[in-house]
Amino acid sequence: MKKRTNLLFSIALILFICQKSMAQSENLTDNSKKTEPTVMKTYLIERDIPNAGKLSPEQLKSISQKSCSVLKEMGPKIEWIQSYVTGDKIFCVYKAENEELIREHAKKGGFPANVITEISTTISPATAKE
């Protein structure tokens, strides 16, 4: 009877150790799946494009499509928010992890990024009311 009790105790101990080991392994696996959230900064990009204001809707669509295809290829660490077309420039607002991603996007897309400025904060008429 004593041998049987020792055997049952040994089996219980082994099962306990195995369960503990599996739980730790699952915790390690879960932690490895967790990623830090991406910190996205906002940037204003100034693109010198002669006669940008005279580009046709079809040309603007083509530029937009090219930009979107490059962004899709680059992944979620860069995002195009909006652009403003003026006489000889296009001003673009992007969110990105860093300035280097903005430069990479411009290079892959084949368009200039003459000035890249990180936006520290925004204000609007609502700011006056706060």
Q: What is the pLDDT of residues 68-104, one digit of tens each?
A: 999 999 999 999 999 999 999 999 999 999 999 999 9
At the topology level, CATH places domain 41-120 in: Alpha-Beta Plaits (3.30.70)
Kindly compute the dihedral angle of the four CA atoms of residues 100, 113, 68, 50, in this order, to the nearest 10 degrees: -170
pTM: 0.70
Local confidence band at 130 (pLDDT 50, 70, 90 cut-offs): confident
Contact present, 101 and 74 (Cβ < 8 Å): yes
Q: If you average pLDDT over every residue of the chain, what do you get?
A: 83
d(CA 4, CA 34): 45
pLDDT value at 45 more than 90: yes
DSSP of 47-62:
EE-TTGGG--HHHHHH
Identify the three-state secondary structure at position 102.
helix
Comparing 3 with 97, which gets the higher pLDDT? 97
Strand partners, 118: 43
Whole-number pLDDT of residue 38: 73
In terms of Cβ atoms closer than 10 Å to its own Cβ (0-12, 13-18, 19+), residue 80 is: middle
Q: What is the CA radius of gyration of the chain?
A: 28
Find the mean pLDDT for residues 41-49.
Answer: 97
